[in-house]
Amino acid sequence: EAGVVQSPRYKIIEKKQPVAFWCNPISGHNTLYWYRQNLGQGPELLIRYENEEAVDDSQLPKDRFSAERLKGVDSTLKIQPAELGDSAVYLCASSSTSGRPWDEQFFGPGTRLTVL
């Protein structure tokens, strides 16, 4: 079974430029998460989807960040415009059901973003 796929793996951009990250969850997983991991810190949840619906986006900086999960499968996270402080690893995870903590979250390898 394929794991969570993320692309690109690495991205370097100038500040004020837009950037987008793509995630393909494990087949059949209804719940999808986007996390941001700053250097030396643990992952921090940005947004959680149940199928197409964003059920928790309280941590998403909505002035510059947006996300979508059309058709309840793949998801895209966008930053526009990027700032220096957005440099981090962006992790996507998926789980099979509705976000109960014992439903294991499977993480992708992440996209390392560097904003210059």
Partner 1 sequence: DQQVKQNSPSLSVQEGRISILNCDYTNSMFDYFLWYKKYPAEGPTFLISISSIKDKNEDGRFTVFLNKSAKHLSLHIVPSQPGDSAVYFCAASESGDSWGKLQFGAGTQVVVTP
Least Å distance, CB 81 to partner 1, is 27
Helix (H) or strand (E) holding 73: none
Nearer to partner 1, 27 or 58 (CB): 58
Cβ contact 15:115 at 8 Å: yes
Least Å distance, CB 14 to partner 1, is 24
Least Å distance, CB 33 to partner 1, is 7
Tokens of 38: 């700053």
Task: Kindly state whether residue 25 participates in binding partner 1, applying the rule CB under 8 A.
Answer: no
Q: Which of residues 34-93 bind partner 1 (CB under 8 A)?
A: 40-45, 48, 56, 91, 93
* Mode of pairing for the β-strands spanning 53-56 and 65-68: unpaired
Residue 90 backbone phi and psi in degrees, to 5:
-105, 115
The residue ranges that bind partner 1 (CB under 8 A) are 4, 31, 33, 40-45, 48, 56, 91, 93, 95, 98-110
